[in-house]
Amino acid sequence: MESMKNNILDIDTAFDKQLMQKILPRIQGSSRRIKNILVKLYKYTSDKDYTKENGDLGQKMLNYYNNNKGNIKYPSSTEKIAYMVKRYEEDGFTAYWL
């Protein structure tokens, strides 16, 4: 394959785009499980663990993202997850498209 030979996208960028296109749009709802899933995904995409913390995490996640953008492995997904958690905390519901 020509595109793989030329390394158009590195593997981490490609995976980040796949999370944004295929995984995150399927996560929505008002269940507490939704927030737990998003917090675990945030840990995976950013290497920052909020799974043991309680309370409002969305703003903490956004602050961490904003202060560490250059060092986050999957930045687009990390930012989107933080917004989804924040939306859940504010409205009791979240979805990718909100």
If one counts every other C-beta atom within 10 angstroms of the C-beta of residue 34, the result is 18
Question: In a 10 Å sphere around its CB, with 0-12 CB exposed, 13-18 middle and 19+ buried, how is residue 68 labelled?
Answer: middle
Which pLDDT band holds residue 5 (cuts at 50, 70, 90)? Answer: low
* pLDDT for res 97: 94
pLDDT in tens, 17-39: 999 999 999 999 999 999 999 99
**pTM of this structure:** 0.91
pLDDT in tens, 77-92: 999 999 999 999 999 9
Which pLDDT band holds residue 1 (cuts at 50, 70, 90)? Answer: very low
Average pLDDT over the chain, rounded to an integer: 94
Alpha-carbon span 79 to 66, nearest angstrom: 8
Tell me, letter by letter, the H, E, C secondary structure of the chain.
CHHHHCCCCCHHHHHHHHHHHHHHHHCCECCHHHHHHHHHHHHHHHCCCCCCCCCCCHHHHHHHHHHHHHHCCCHHHHHHHHHHHHHHHHHCCECCCC
